């Protein structure tokens, strides 16, 4: 049986309840206090669940150096998702002309030059460069907690669960190959249990990133074949279940790119996991109702929502 697409009705209900505040741009919403209270509770629950990791906290703003993106494969793999920051550097006359065009909503892009910044596409990106700048890793490697950074993906949509800017709560493991992939695999189960405790029925599935173009289809097939990406899927409002968390094994890609080495001389590998904050909050609102005050006490307790 094909499930009905309830995304438009769900979006309208979120706005009506003040959980989402429309900005006029698809996939970009303000959020009301109830939504944010749940999101903060979720982030804290993830932090508590990961306490045994003794992860090093390393938070970054939602921009990365443009060079970092250029040095990675991102623009080959996901040119359609990248967000680039431009700025004005010109004369007073040029500024006046730019303003004139902009105020008429005409094309003022000719006055804008590419800056040295791009929007962060995944919260783990700046982590690898930071660790690459350090001495070689001790045995056992390192776990980094980059927190829930805002990330950008240029994928405008009417689906309330497909945002252009959202919070991705990551954890990153950098170690020898066996340690990295074992950690990734263990977290699939841990993530599933965390979501089950919140009343969310999440199923794991081997997945692929949305690689661009024809060449991208081959990259996606190879990623699937090697089971490098696993997602936890939950039914939100669309006809298909939506990925609310991802568990990635990058093999030696990021370590090599960023010069991360093990003190033992062995090859370093990396793995990361990303919980999509907004998608999990939306799934909770879908399952338990739009008013968190009426949610089951166990769920409210886990999220430490005030009475």
Rg of the Cα atoms in the chain: 21
Q: Which two tokens stand for residue 76?
A: 């080959």
Burial of 305 (0-12, 13-18, 19+ CB in 10 A): middle
Q: Decide: 50 and 145 in contact? Cβ < 8 Å.
A: yes
Q: What 3-state DSSP class applies to 15?
A: helix
207 binds Zn ion (CB under 5 A): no
Smallest gap from Cβ 155 to ligand AMP, in A, equals 5
**Is position 278 an interface residue for ligand AMP (rule: CB under 6 A)?**
yes
Could you say which of 39, 153, 173, 286 contacts ligand AMP (CB under 6 A)?
153
Site residues for ligand AMP, 239-258, by CB under 6 A, read: 243-246
Number of residues that bind Zn ion (CB under 5 A): 3
Name the binder of 43 from ligand AMP, Zn ion, none, CB < 5-8 A by kind.
none
Name the token pair of 24.
């006029």
Which residue, chain included where needed, has tokens 């990675």?
72
Q: Min. distance of Cβ 246 from Zn ion in angstroms?
A: 8
Positive/negative CA dihedral, 248, 251, 252, 255: positive
Q: Which does 300 bind (CB under 5 to 8 A by kind): Zn ion, ligand AMP, none?
A: none
Should residue 117 be labelled a site residue for ligand AMP when binding is judged by CB under 6 A?
no
CA separation for the pair 133, 35 (Å, rounded): 38
The distance of closest approach from Cβ of residue 261 to Zn ion in the complex, given in angstroms and rounded to an integer, is: 20
What dihedral do alpha carbons 245, 292, 200, 270 form, nearest 10°? Answer: 20
Q: Which does 97 bind (CB under 5 to 8 A by kind): ligand AMP, Zn ion, none?
A: none
122 binding Zn ion? (CB under 5 A): yes
**Residue nearer to ligand AMP on the CB measure, 145 or 231:** 231
Q: Are 137 and 260 in contact (CB under 8 A)?
A: yes
The residue ranges that bind ligand AMP (CB under 6 A) are: 122, 153, 155, 161-163, 166, 168, 231, 243-246, 274, 276, 278-279
């Amino acid at each position: 049986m094909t499930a009905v697409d309830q995304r438009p009705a769900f979006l309208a209900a979120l706005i009506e309840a003040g959980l989402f505040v429309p900005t006029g741009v698809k996939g970009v919403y303000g959020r009301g206090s109830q939504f944010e209270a749940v999101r903060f509770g979720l982030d804290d629950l993830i932090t508590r669940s990961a306490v045994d990791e003794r992860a090093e906290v390393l938070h970054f703003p939602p921009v990365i150096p443009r060079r970092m993106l250029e040095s990675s494969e991102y623009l080959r793999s996901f040119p359609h998702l990248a967000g680039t920051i431009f700025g004005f550097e010109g004369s007073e006359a040029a500024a006046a002309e730019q303003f004139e065009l902009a105020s008429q909503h005409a094309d003022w892009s000719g006055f804008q030059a590419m800056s040295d910044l791009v929007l962060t596409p995944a919260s783990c990106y700046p982590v690898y460069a930071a660790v690459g700048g350090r001495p070689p890793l001790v045995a056992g490697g390192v776990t980094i907690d980059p927190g829930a950074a805002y990330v950008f993906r240029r994928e405008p949509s009417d689906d309330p669960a497909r945002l252009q800017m959202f919070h991705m709560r990551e954890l990153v493991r950098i170690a020898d190959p066996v340690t990295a992939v074992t950690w990734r695999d263990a977290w699939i189960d841990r993530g599933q249990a965390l979501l089950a405790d919140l009343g969310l029925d999440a199923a794991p599935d081997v997945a692929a990133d949305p690689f661009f173009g024809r060449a991208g289809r081959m990259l996606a097939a190879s990623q699937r074949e090697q089971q490098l990406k696993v997602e936890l899927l939950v039914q939100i409002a669309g006809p298909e279940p939506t990925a609310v968390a991802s568990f990635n094994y990058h093999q030696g890609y990021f370590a090599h790119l960023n010069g991360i080495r093990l003190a033992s001389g062995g090859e370093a590998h990396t793995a990361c996991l990303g919980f999509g904050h907004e998608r999990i909050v939306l799934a909770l609102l879908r399952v338990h109702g739009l008013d968190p005050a009426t949610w089951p006490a166990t769920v409210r307790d886990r999220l430490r929502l005030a009475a």
